[in-house]
Amino acid sequence: MNNPQPILPASTNTSDYAIATIGSHSALQILKGAKDEGFHSIAICKKGTERPYESYGVADEIITVDDWDNWDDLLEEQLIKKNAIVIPHGSFIAYMGHERVRKMKAMYYGTKDILRWESDRSLERQWLEKSGLKLPRVLNSPEEIDKPVIVKFHGAQGGFGYFIAKSPEQFHEVKDRKYPDQNDFALQEYIVGVPLYAHYFYSPITKELEIMSFDKRYESNADSIGRIKAEDQLAAKIHTSYTIVGNIPIVVRESLLNQFFTMGDNVVKVSQELCGDSETGKGGLFGPFCLECIVTRKLEIYCFEISARIVAGTNPFIEGSPYTALKYSEPMSTGRRIARDIKMAIEQGKLEDILG
Ligand code: ATP
């Protein structure tokens, strides 16, 4: 896929560059990390959302837009003039949409081609399967349901409407009664275990894979339903939703770490075969990414999704995590790690290796 190629500045001095991102999601740590590494930091905020970026002093500059539809050539020209490198995060992709991200002319951190592999359910599955990860089984039709499945409606905000069914009859009963018009859904084996989100960083500069941290999500109302008796849940007709309210840090059993490293290595290696150059190791997945997993009581790790960029689960670790404390002698958030890699790329004249 041919994406517009930015014109790269010749300077090898970090202070001639800026790091910019949309003010939301994980922007606080991205901007703070940028400043810590000597960059000019720019928050692009929708009018009325500037307060945290002003209050915490992480943005050297705030650019305000009325709406994300106003992200236009003029704004990009401003960014290009400032030698700004744009860092994508989850909300960035959601607000901008894949097509606009692909067409961006400003310097963009990461591989744009990976968006296609991550956003299409069947391509994502091919990628993860090829990487040897254990995935929940996917059923082709409700008639195949022979054990509990999670029914995921496409575009369900915060997992609202996801439900569990353990037989074809139960599926049809709930679906026909509550979601008669929604027919775009996936049926995934329901894995009984604990959710665990593994945050990685792969540097195309050092060629090293790092585990930055782990989190679990604090979801409303899934994380509070257990506070009332099952019979009260039924009486009150409470429907489970998975709206993310915050993130909780986790340290995993040390004996699981080796497996998590192998999983991360394989996902990176296969991504280079899919949309990079496996000989030179260029392209493919790099920078921060997350494997969204469920770990069972037999300590089997099932991965149900990959996020090919910084996830908000890294936000508790602005001062670093127990894992980055082992590796670095200074606080190393994922945001700062991004800035550090960009800085190394600039200083070594390898900027094109980290831009998509
Ligand atoms: P995202 O923003 O990451 O796309 P989402 O709101 O679309 O999230 P998922 O992350 O797919 O939803 O899942 C929501 C919740 O359902 C999570 O808490 C996850 O732990 C749980 N879940 C998802 N798939 C499975 C599965 N196969 N087995 C058990 N639980 C699952």
What is the structure's pLDDT at 1?
55
Q: How far is the CA of 159 from the centre of ligand 1 (A)?
A: 7
> What's the rounded Cα separation, in Å, for the pair 37 and 24?
21
> How many domains does the chain divide into?
1
In a domain, 169, yes or no: yes
Q: β-strands 18-22, 40-46: how paired?
A: parallel
Is the CB of 148 within 6 Å of ligand 1? no
Tell me, what CATH number does 155's domain have? 3.30.1490.20
Is the CB of 219 within 6 Å of ligand 1? yes
Percent of the chain with pLDDT over 70: 98
Q: Which of 24-33, 78-87, 228-237, 311-320 has the lowest mean pLDDT?
A: 228-237
Using DSSP, state whether 332 is helix, strand or coil: coil
Q: Please state the rounded mean pLDDT for residues 244-269.
A: 97
158 band by pLDDT with thresholds 50, 70 and 90: low
In a domain, 216, yes or no: no
Nearest CA to ligand 1 atom 2: 158
Using DSSP, state whether 189 is helix, strand or coil: strand
Q: Please state the rounded mean pLDDT for residues 71-87.
A: 92
In a domain, 116, yes or no: no
Nearest CA to ligand 1 atom 21: 195
Q: Which atom of ligand 1 is nearest to the CA of 152?
A: 11
Domain extent for 171: 138-189
- 68-82, 149-163, 288-302: range with highest mean pLDDT: 288-302
pLDDT tens per residue across span 6-52: 778 889 999 999 999 999 999 999 999 999 999 999 999 999 999 99
Nearest CA to ligand 1 atom 5: 159
CB neighbours of residue 141 within 10 Å:
9
- Could you tell me the pTM of the whole model? 0.94
Nearest CA to ligand 1 atom 23: 304
Q: How far is the CA of 301 from the centre of ligand 1 (A)?
A: 14
Q: Which atom of ligand 1 is nearest to the CA of 302?
A: 27
In a domain, 288, yes or no: no
In a domain, 349, yes or no: no
In a domain, 177, yes or no: yes
Output the six-digit token pair for 258. 């080796």
Please answer whether residues 87 and 310 qualify as being in contact, where contact means their C-beta atoms are separated by less than 8 angstroms.
yes
In a domain, 153, yes or no: yes
In a domain, 149, yes or no: yes
